[in-house]
Amino acid sequence: MTQRHQDERIRIREAMDRLLAGRPTVSNGSLTVTALAVEADVHRMALMKRHADLKNEFYERVRNETQQVPETEKRLRETVGKLKKTAANQKEEIDELRQQVTLLAMAGAVLVDGRGAPPAPEPPPADAPDNVLPFRPITS
């Protein structure tokens, strides 16, 4: 590890201690990675990429020492809840559509079977003009 890398890690650990103690010096004091990066004077992406272990350690300490759930986890849990509700609604809609398909298939089968088909027209009488069609007989 380079000296700069070591210095960043020391600053991040000191910033963790300050944030968890409730004594921020530079940031707004929220228990987020962004506030930790500001407090440690480290670029947020450097904290996320180069020092991912310290980011995870920070969240673990937030969970253990403050008995709080990190903000990102709260948002994820909320999103998961919404997605579960959406999935349940879609499942219900799919079930209803399957019932409709079954009913429509049965109705189509009845029509194809011939029970619902109209009777064939009778041929016109021989002396009728060629542009006249007879009425269909009434069936009951």
Domain contains 92: yes
pLDDT at 101: 94
Residue, of 109 and 95, whose pLDDT is higher: 95
Query: What is the count of structural domains for the chain?
Result: 2
pLDDT at 119 over 80: no
From 107, 13, 92, 111, select the one nearest 58 (Cα to Cα): 13
- Let me know if residue 128 belongs to a domain: no
The pLDDT of residue 108 is 84
Residue given tokens 């060629």 in the structure block: 130
Q: Per the domain annotation, does 27 fall within a domain?
A: yes
CA distance 100 to 80: 30
Query: Do 28 and 50 belong together in one domain?
Result: yes
Q: What are phi and psi of 127, to 5 degrees?
A: -90, 5
Chain segment 10-55, per-residue pLDDT in tens: 999 999 999 988 888 888 888 889 999 999 999 999 888 999 999 9
Q: How far is it, in rounded angstroms, from Cα 40 to Cα 5?
A: 13
- Asked, for residue 122, whether it belongs to a domain, the answer is no
